[in-house]
Structure 1
Amino acid sequence: MRKKYLSFIVAMLGVFLLSGCNNGKTSLDEFENIKKRGYIILGFDDTFVPMGFKDASGEVVGFDIDIAKELGRRLNLEVKFQPIDWAMKETELKNKNIDVIWNGYSITEERKEKVEFSDPYVENRQVIITLKDSNINKKSDLEGKKVAVQSGSSALDAINKEEELMKKFQNGKPITFDTNNEALMDLESSRVDAVVADEILSRYYTTQRGSEKYKVLPEDFGKEQYGIGMRKGDKKFIEEINSILNNMKRDGTTSKISSKWFGEDIIK
C-alpha cells in the first residue's frame, strides 16, 4: 500500500509540475510547427487603410501587408492573409485560427495580458475627426454629440479611460461600428458628429476622400505604438520577427515601403 501511495504522489507531482509550466503564462513555442507547415496565417481587418485592406480589385494590399510579405520571404515562409472580426482578434489567436495579429495593432496594457508583442515599429495617436464645418473644435465640444468608434479597437479603450467625458456624449457612450470605414461613412452622411480613430488610418482616409471636407482636432485621446501580436510563450517566433524587422530597418527596406504608402519614413 505504501509503494502504491508513493507512486500516486509522484505521478500527481509530475502532473502538477507540467501544468505549472503551462498555466496560461507560457505555452509551447509554435514557431517550429509553423516552419514545418510552411506558412504563417496573418489575421487582419481587411478595411484598415492603409495598413491592410482589399483594394478595388479585391487584392489584399497595404503597408503592413508589404512588410509581412518581405518578412515571410526572409523566413522562407508563405504568408496567408486571413480577414477576421477585429473584435475577436485575440480569441482567433488563442484558438490558433491565426498565428499573428498584424494590422495597425496598438500595444496596450490590456492587450499585453492576452498576447506577446513584438518590438513597436510605428507611432500613432487616437485622433478626433469631424466634418470641416462642424462646431466641434476641442474635446470638450463632444458633450451631447454622437461620437463613433470601431468596436474592439484601441480607440474605444482610449475613450473608456476618459469616463467623465464619455458620459457627456449623447446617450452617455460612443456609437460602435464593426469597421472604421463604416464609422467614417456615417460621419460623411452627418449621422454621427465625430469619429475617434487611428491617426494613420484617418489621415489616409481623409486624403483619399478629400481632405478639405474634414478636420482633425489638435487634441487627441492619447499616443500609442503599433506592434505584432503573437501567442503567449512564442518566444522564438518573437525573436525571429524582431530580428528581421531590425534588419529591414537597417538595410532600408522598411523605409522604401513606408515611402510608398506615406511619402515618408514613419518606421520607429
Structure 2
Amino acid sequence: MKTNRILGLACLAALAAALPARADTLSDIKARHKLLVGIDLGLPPYGTVDAAMQPTGSDVEAARLLAADLGVELEIVPTTGANRIPFLQTHKIDAVMASFSVTEARKKVVDFSIPYGVISIICAAPAEIAIKDAKDLEGKTVAVTRGTGADADATKLAKADDKISLVRFDDDATLITALSSGQQDIMISAPAQMRDTNKRASRQLEQKFLLRTNGYAVGLRKGDAALKQAVDAWIEKDLADGKLRTSFKQWHEAELPADMPKE
C-alpha cells in the first residue's frame, strides 16, 4: 500500500510538471494589451455615462490612469454592487473599481490594493423626519443598495434591532429613483447618492448621522501578487503627483485626506 501511495504521488507530480504554468493576471493583461475593469456605471459620481453615452466618473478616470500606467488599453465591464465579486472570481474582469470599500468580510474572498479614495456611509432623510441615531429608525423602512458596504452596515443595524426594516434595490440608480420619487424616505448609502437624489427630487434629503468613513480600493483575485504590487505602486505614484486627488475633488467636491487610510 505504501508503495502504491508513493507511485500515485509521483504520477501526480509528473502530471503537474507536464501541465503548462498558469500565467498570473498581470502577465495576461500585458499579453492581451488590455485591462478589463468592472465599474458600476449606474453610480454617479463614481461611474456614469455622459450625454454622448460614454463612460465617465471618478472610478472611470482612475481606471484610465491605471491602464495608462500599465501601458495597455482599458475595457470597462459594467457591474453592479451584487455582481462585482462574482465577475472577478469567474475571470470576467481583471479588477474591480466600483467604489469598492475595504471590509473584513470582502477580504476573505478578494484581495485589495491600498485605497485610492474614501467613502462615507450615512443615513439620510428629509428634514421633517426626525432621526438622530439608529434608535430613531425603529418602526421605519430604510432603503439600501443590495451587495454594497452600506447594505452590510444597514444589515448590522437591523439585526441588532428587529424594529428596523430594510428594502433592498439592485443598483444605485433604482435606489435614487425610489428616493427622488417619494417611494422611499430614508436611505443608508453614500453622500454621492444623497446629492444625486437631491438633484432630482423636490423634497431634499439631509444627512442625519454618519455610520463610518473608510477607504475604497481596487479589488483583485486572491493571490494576484504581481498585479497587486503594480496597482499599489500606481496608486502611490498618482496620489503623490496629484492626479488621483485632482480627479476625486472634481467628482466628489471634497478633498482626499492628506494621510490616506492603509486599508
TM-score (norm 2): 0.86
**2:223 paired with 1:233:** yes
**Given residue 112 of structure 2, which amino acid in structure 1 is its aligned partner?**
F
Alignment of 1:226-265 (within 5 A): 226-265=216-255
**Given residue 181 of structure 1, which amino acid in structure 2 is its aligned partner?**
A
- Name the CA distance, whole Å, in 1 between partners of 2:16 and 2:158: 43
- Name the CA distance, whole Å, in 1 between partners of 2:2 and 2:99: 60
- Name the CA distance, whole Å, in 1 between partners of 2:14 and 2:203: 67
Unaligned runs of 5+ in 2: none
**Corresponding residue for 1:44?**
39
- Name the CA distance, whole Å, in 2 between partners of 1:153 and 1:48: 12
Alignment of 1:74-153 (within 5 A): 74-153=69-148
Measured against aligned partners, the alpha-carbon deviations of 1:9-43 in whole angstroms (never above 9, x if no partner) come to 422466799xxxxxxxxx86211011000111111
Residues 124, 224 of structure 1: 8 Å contact kept: yes
Q: Any idea what SS the aligned residue of 2:83 has?
A: helix
Residues 117, 256 of structure 2: 8 Å contact kept: yes
Residues 176, 197 of structure 2: 8 Å contact kept: no
- Name the CA distance, whole Å, in 1 between partners of 2:180 and 2:3: 77
Return the match for 2:179 from 169, 177, 187.
187
Q: Comparing 203-212 with 124-133, which one deviates more in the overlay?
A: 203-212
Measured against aligned partners, the alpha-carbon deviations of 1:163-195 in whole angstroms (never above 9, x if no partner) come to 4455112xxx31000112322322223222201
Cα 1:255–1:4, aligned 2, differ >3 Å: closer, same or farther? closer
Q: Any idea what SS the aligned residue of 1:225 has?
A: strand
**Corresponding residue for 1:11?**
11
**Given residue 141 of structure 2, which amino acid in structure 1 is its aligned partner?**
K
Residues 63, 258 of structure 1: 8 Å contact kept: yes
Cα 1:51–1:85, aligned 2, differ >3 Å: closer, same or farther? closer
- Cα deviation for residue 254 of structure 1 reads 1.6
- Cα deviation for residue 69 of structure 1 reads 0.6
- Cα deviation for residue 3 of structure 1 reads 7.3
Residues 139, 220 of structure 1: 8 Å contact kept: no
Q: Any idea what SS the aligned residue of 1:260 has?
A: helix
- Name the CA distance, whole Å, in 1 between partners of 2:170 and 2:2: 62
- Name the CA distance, whole Å, in 1 between partners of 2:119 and 2:6: 58
- Name the CA distance, whole Å, in 2 between partners of 1:175 and 1:4: 59
Q: Any idea what SS the aligned residue of 2:150 has?
A: helix
- Cα deviation for residue 144 of structure 1 reads 1.0
- Cα deviation for residue 208 of structure 1 reads 3.6
Residues 159, 166 of structure 1: 8 Å contact kept: no
**Given residue 230 of structure 1, which amino acid in structure 2 is its aligned partner?**
L
- Name the CA distance, whole Å, in 2 between partners of 1:183 and 1:113: 28
**Corresponding residue for 2:207?**
216
- Cα deviation for residue 136 of structure 1 reads 3.2
**Corresponding residue for 1:205?**
196
Q: Any idea what SS the aligned residue of 1:90 has?
A: helix
- Name the CA distance, whole Å, in 1 between partners of 2:10 and 2:171: 53
**Corresponding residue for 1:168?**
163
Q: Any idea what SS the aligned residue of 2:174 has?
A: helix
**Given residue 245 of structure 2, which amino acid in structure 1 is its aligned partner?**
S
- Name the CA distance, whole Å, in 2 between partners of 1:260 and 1:220: 23
- Cα deviation for residue 143 of structure 1 reads 1.0
TM-score (norm 1): 0.85
RMSD of equivalent CA atoms: 2.8
Cα 1:198–1:74, aligned 2, differ >3 Å: closer, same or farther? same
- Name the CA distance, whole Å, in 2 between partners of 1:190 and 1:204: 15
The count of aligned residue pairs is: 256
Q: Any idea what SS the aligned residue of 2:214 has?
A: strand
Q: Comparing 132-141 with 1-10, which one deviates more in the overlay?
A: 1-10
- Cα deviation for residue 102 of structure 1 reads 0.4
- Cα deviation for residue 159 of structure 1 reads 1.6
